Structure 1
Amino acid sequence: MSQGLIIRELRDRNAWSQEYVANELNMSQPAYCNLELDKTQLSLERAEKLAALYNVPLSIFSKEQSSTINYNTGHYSRTIINSKITEEKVSLDEKELYLKIISDKEILIELLKDEIIDLRNDKQFLKDQLALKLK
């Protein structure tokens, strides 16, 4: 899991703004945003501050110990979780993140199923309207 995603998820869990966390780290909001987007490398000093702020182990920000995950929320979103991850290698926080991501995806799947049903109904309605006009 990328450091940026971890940082964002921890902030979201606490319902804090980027500006609030940026102030806690003595940095600007745009600079903090770059941390969440993985455009800027997380320094050890800031990782220590974040660990203290969120009351999590510092190791959660370690790239070597983080599991592989790609979580996008765009139109063509895909989530990939490293299948080689074993239960004992996953921290409690990472497991909670995985469960949240899976839950979010399940909700999205249900919404998409409903949208497909609506689109099929709309398609049938339009076919029926066209058939009436052609008669």
Structure 2
Amino acid sequence: MAENPFAGQDVTVSDNYRTHFETYVQRREGKGARPEHQPFDRNVDFWFAAICVAVRNGIKPSPPTGKTYKAAEGVALGSPEWRPTALTLLAIAENGDASIVDRPGEMMRIANAYAHVGFPELLEILESRGGDTALDHLSEAIEAMLTK
């Protein structure tokens, strides 16, 4: 897939998760950027991780309800370049119809719904770390998910 069909779409997130983005996404560069405590480089990376956790754990997608906010513009999904393909394949699998590729808004609604149900699981991982750094604990949890 050469282009990003999501470039005109928004990554929307329940407003309840706004503070978590501020906690786990790096906001500074240089010495202030602490990946061991803020393991996600961009909002879209945190959002995508929530999708991955939901899919891996077999959680049925459910769209956000209530107040939402734009966490990122869809253009951010173009990097890394495989991400639009992954989201397109997820939308096809969820919808059961390959013609969904012609409806980027519907594909984005599916992705946002997966992220919405994945955030509680992802946050449970990040917030149950005890004395570990967020990055260490997240890495171990992902490794455990992949080996089950």
TM-score higher than 0.5:
no
TM-score, reference length from structure 2: 0.24
TM-score, reference length from structure 1: 0.25
Greater gyration radius: 1
Higher helix fraction (1 or 2): 1
Higher relative contact order, chain-length normalized (CA < 8 Å, sep 6+): 2
